[in-house]
């Protein structure tokens, strides 16, 4: 067949070769809960930095530059590594990258809580952003694998995205 022909080709279900090396999830509901929880944490953490600005400024004695880095360090690390993290999930496995990102995010959150200086707080916030970037794209891949039926997957993705509404409301309320 000529490579430029317009003939359509019917694609069947993925072969077992494509699915090899991909562990099945024992419980799709737990996958949904874990991925939704991760999304909610990542979204609320952006707001937490904004809400804590007066306390950070008072406790660390930092100016506007320090406050900017505390807030923007998370967002910068998250946005700049999100595409790379998606590729890592494809290459290393979504479950492994999701779990690594969640562990990094959790450890960085603990570091934020005990940071004695603004510099360490900024570093921990950057690590949080990196952790969130690792688990966000992998969470959708895990959902797609846990819910192979299109209708169930659509419901799962709807549930997964539900934390965006409360996070947006909290963000709006904190800005008022």
Render pLDDT for 33-81 as a digit per residue (tens, 0 to 9): 888 888 888 888 877 778 888 889 999 999 999 999 999 999 999 999 9
Length of the chain in terms of residues written: 176
HEC profile of 16-37 = HHHHCCCCCCCCHHHHHHHHHH
Cα separation, 170 vs 51, in Å, equals 10
Give the CATH superfamily of 27-175: MFS general substrate transporter like domains (1.20.1250.20)
Per the CB < 8 A criterion, the answer to whether 60 and 66 are in contact is: yes
C-alpha distance from residue 41 to each of 7, 102, 149, 153, 167 (Å): 47, 10, 27, 22, 9
User: What confidence score (pLDDT) does residue 26 get?
Assistant: 56
Residue from 39, 98, 111 nearest 70 by CA: 111
Query: Does the predicted TM-score (pTM) go above 0.85?
Result: no
Please return the burial class of 44, using the count of CB atoms within 10 Å of its CB with bins 0-12, 13-18 and 19+.
middle
Cα separation, 105 vs 74, in Å, equals 11
Task: Report residue 114 as tokens.
Answer: 């005990």
Q: What is the pLDDT of residues 14-34, one digit of tens each?
A: 433 334 344 454 588 888 888
- Mean pLDDT of the region 114-132: 95
Cα separation, 137 vs 68, in Å, equals 26
C-alpha distance from residue 90 to each of 48, 51, 53, 66, 115 (Å): 30, 35, 37, 36, 34
């Amino acid at each position: 067949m000529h490579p430029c022909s317009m003939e359509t080709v019917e694609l069947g279900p993925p072969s077992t070769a494509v699915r090899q090396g991909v562990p099945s999830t024992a419980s799709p509901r737990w996958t949904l809960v874990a991925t939704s929880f991760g999304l909610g944490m990542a979204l609320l953490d952006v707001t937490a930095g904004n809400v804590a600005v007066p306390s950070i400024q008072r406790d660390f004695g930092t100016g506007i530059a320090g406050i900017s880095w505390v807030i923007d360090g998370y967002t910068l690390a998250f946005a700049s590594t999100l595409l790379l993290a998606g590729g890592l999930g494809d290459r290393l496995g979504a479950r492994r990258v999701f779990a690594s990102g969640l562990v990094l995010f959790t450890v960085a959150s603990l570091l934020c809580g005990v940071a004695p200086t603004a510099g360490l707080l900024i570093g921990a916030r950057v690590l949080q952003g990196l952790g969130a970037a690792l688990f966000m794209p992998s969470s959708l891949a895990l959902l797609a694998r846990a819910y192979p039926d299109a209708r169930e997957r659509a419901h799962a993705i709807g549930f997964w995205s539900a934390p965006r509404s409360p996070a947006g409301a909290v963000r709006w309320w904190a800005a008022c």
